[in-house]
Structure 1
Amino acid sequence: MPALAQTPTLSDVRQAIVRCLIDTVDRPCISISEVSHAVRRMYPLCELTDWELGDLIARSAIDAGFAVEFGADVP
C-alpha cells in the first residue's frame, strides 16, 4: 500500500528551498517562480500561500547572497 502524502512542515519547505538554491549556485540570480514551482512539485500539499512561499524563497535567497528575480516568466 502506498504511503499517504503528508503536509510538509515549514522546516521541510525551507530545506527544499535550500536544495534548489544549492542546485543553482552557479547562477548569480534565482527566479522566485522557478523555485516556487520546484517546491510545489516536491510538496504538492504545501499549505503556504504563493505570497508566503515567495517571501520565504526571497528571504532565503537574499540571505545566501543571491540576486532575486521576481518576474514570472516560467509558465
Structure 2
Amino acid sequence: MGPATANVAPTLTSSDVRQTIVRYLLDHVENPSVSVGEVIDAVRERLPLCELTDWELGDYIARSAIDAGFAVEFDAEVP
C-alpha cells in the first residue's frame, strides 16, 4: 500500500481575501466610492471557500477601501 493521501481542500488566508479586495478596488479605481454589498458579492464569487461572515467581510472591505482613499457605501444586507 502506498502512502495515505487525504483529499484536503485548499484553505484561504487573510492575505488571499485582502488581495481579492485590493484587486477589486484597483479594477474600480475610476469610481470614488465603493459599495460594500457589491464587493462582498465579488469576493464570494471569486473565493467561494471564504469562511468569513458577511459582517466580517464587510468590515474588512470597509477598512481596506478607506485605507485606499475610497468613500464607502455601507449598503450590505447583513442579518
TM-score norm. by structure 2 comes to: 0.82
Identity of aligned residues (%): 69
Figure out how many residues of one structure are paired with residues of the other and give that number: 70
So what's the TM-score if we normalise by structure 1? 0.86
Q: Which runs of 4+ in 1 moved over 4 A?
A: none
| Cross-structure match for 2:73 | 69
Q: Distance in 1 between matches of 2:53 and 2:21?
A: 15
RMSD of aligned Cα (Å): 1.6
Contact 2:58–2:76 (8 Å) recurs in 1: no
Give distance in 2, aligned partners of 1:65 and 1:52. Answer: 20
Unmatched runs of 5 consecutive residues or more in structure 2: 1-7
> Which position in structure 1 is the counterpart of 2:63?
59
Larger radius of gyration: 2
Is contact 1:32-1:70 (8 Å) kept?
yes
Give the structure 2 partner of residue 46 of structure 1.
Answer: 50
